């Protein structure tokens, strides 16, 4: 199951149930985090626009790590 795609997350949710899905997703995020900036995890994901760098909790995706870092730095500090 590819937890970086909506289809993969749906398949995981259906196969694992809510608790199993949440554990699998947290484990996946931990392994795929490339950098923490201003308290926000940055990670690469697959999207309909190709591979993008996500800022955890922001909902935005960026084509470069530098753009994601700039966005994370513009957000309120997260502990």
| Inside any domain, residue 79 | no
Write the pLDDT tens digit of every residue in 4-57: 778 888 998 999 998 988 888 778 777 778 999 999 989 898 888 888 999 988
**Domain assignment present for 1:** no
Does any domain span residue 30?
A: yes
For residue 13, is it within any domain?
Answer: yes
Spatial contact of 68 and 54, defined as CB atoms under 8 Å apart: yes
Number of domains in the chain: 1
Q: Is the pLDDT of residue 72 over 90?
A: yes
pLDDT at 70: 97
Q: Is residue 15 part of a domain?
A: yes
Asked whether the beta carbons of 52 and 45 are under 8 A apart, the reply is yes
Q: Write out the DSSP string of the chain.
A: --TTSHHHHHHHHHHHHHHHHHHHHHHHHHHHEEEEETTEEEEEEEETTEEEEEETTT--EESSHHHHHHHHHHSPP--
70 falls within a domain: yes
Quick check: is 41 in a domain? yes
CB 53 within 8 A of CB 65: yes
Q: Which domain holds residue 36?
A: 6-74
């Amino acid at each position: 199951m590819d937890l970086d795609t909506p289809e993969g997350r749906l398949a995981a949710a259906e196969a694992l149930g809510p608790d199993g899905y949440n554990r699998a997703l947290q484990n996946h995020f931990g392994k795929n985090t490339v950098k923490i900036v201003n308290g926000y995890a940055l990670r690469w994901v697959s999207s309909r626009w190709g591979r993008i760098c996500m800022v955890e909790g922001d909902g935005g995706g960026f084509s470069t790590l530098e753009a994601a870092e700039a966005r994370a730095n513009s957000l309120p500090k997260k502990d």
